[in-house]
Amino acid sequence: MGIRIDSLRCSLIAIPLLILASSFHSASAGPCEVSYFNGRQIFNFSLTAPIAGFPHGVLSEDGYYKVAENESVLWFQLCDGMIFNHNPPRCVGCQDCGGPSHCGSGCSALVANNIGGYDVCSTIGGVSSTSADIMDEQNPQKGVIVKISSLDTKENCSLSVSVICNSSGLTGPLGLQKSGTCDYAAVLQHPSGCATVVSVHGKGLGWFATLIIIVLCVFGAYMLAGAVYRHFFLGIHGFDVMPNLDFWITLPQRTQGFFASLVRRFRGPTESYRDSYSPVNF
Ligand SMILES: *[C@@H]1O[C@H](CO)[C@@H](O)[C@H](O)[C@H]1NC(C)=O
Ligand SMILES: *[C@@H]1O[C@H](CO)[C@@H](O)[C@H](O)[C@H]1NC(C)=O
Ligand SMILES: *[C@@H]1O[C@H](CO)[C@@H](O)[C@H](O)[C@H]1NC(C)=O
Ligand SMILES: *[C@@H]1O[C@H](CO)[C@@H](O)[C@H](O)[C@H]1NC(C)=O
């Protein structure tokens, strides 16, 4: 019975541990902090952290990024609200993003479409509706995707900016794409899209611990199967149901004998001889 409980407990502990050790998961501690663990390494992205040449990380020094394609013009800032010191967007319907006098300064992304000769604004969202995740789980170092979206305006709008890791500098934003009624995508190459990679040792489960658990489980399964076989097919009951009982009972003595012989070999027989007959000093 004791054997069965042990092996049950062994698999109850080992299976979740193994799943945990090989689990893939990402977590984020702020909208622009992305941390991804693939079981071996942690990939950390901090988009707003200062780096060489970019004291505000991925944030545009101008206060906004601008990208235009076809009849659409899109302004955005990543991880913050936009700031316009000059040339603010001029479009009708800016009330969700600063109003006509401060258009653009009340949100993180705004798009203007020319409809019948008028530029009509659609607010895409603010910092509170910004989220970021890694771009590609197979290649976590590729970069992150920052998504800004809103559901509370007249129409549902979103902007996905792929921040691709390029340690040599900033390129873009490029390639404005539109899908659906108000869903946009653009691409930015930026050093802030490059991950800090931390190799994990000790965290999770090392291969040695995994090996030990596997060995213990195989041993438990062997004992259980042996006991079941001896109980049902050989009709053995009681404590004798344990396979190789003689061996296990004598195992402590054998181990002791083995270590004793090791010690003898290292210390030499003469010393132990002398030890056992050492005269008592008066
Ligand atoms: C990685 O990110 C996590 C969570 O954001 C943080 O606790 C950890 O200190 C970071 N590690 C490094 C090396 O930056
Ligand atoms: C916006 O999205 C929500 C949830 O997906 C949906 O229920 C709603 O109908 C959408 N609104 C518009 C104007 O498309
Ligand atoms: C990375 O950025 C540099 C400078 O901005 C640019 O010349 C280069 O083409 C970029 N690399 C890739 C792979 O696009
Ligand atoms: C511009 O037009 C091209 C081709 O029609 C289309 O693929 C693209 O999504 C358009 N971009 C925008 C922002 O409307």
Q: Total domain count for the chain?
A: 2
Q: What pTM does this model have?
A: 0.63
Asked if 57 and 50 count as a contact pair (C-beta separation under 8 A), the reply is: yes
Q: Tell me the pLDDT tens digit for each residue of 120-149.
A: 888 888 888 888 898 888 888 899 999 998
Residue nearest to ligand 3 atom 13, measured at CA: 166
Same domain, 172 and 233: no
Residue nearest to ligand 4 atom 1, measured at CA: 70
Q: What is the CATH number of the domain that holds 65?
A: 2.70.130.10
- The confidence score (pLDDT) of residue 236 equals 85
Q: Is the CB of 62 under 6 A from ligand 2?
A: no
Same domain, 119 and 63: yes
Same domain, 220 and 88: no
Same domain, 39 and 167: yes
Same domain, 230 and 157: no
Distance 175 CA to ligand 4 centre (A): 9
Q: Tell me the pLDDT tens digit for each residue of 198-257.
A: 887 655 566 777 788 888 878 888 888 888 888 888 888 887 887 787 777 787 788 788
Same domain, 188 and 164: yes
d(CA 66, CA 78): 12
Ligand 3 pocket test target in 54, 162, 171 with most atoms within 8 Å of CB: 171
Same domain, 76 and 155: yes
Same domain, 171 and 77: yes
- The confidence score (pLDDT) of residue 205 equals 60
Containing domain of residue 249, as a range?
A: 2-24+205-267
Asked if 153 and 111 count as a contact pair (C-beta separation under 8 A), the reply is: no
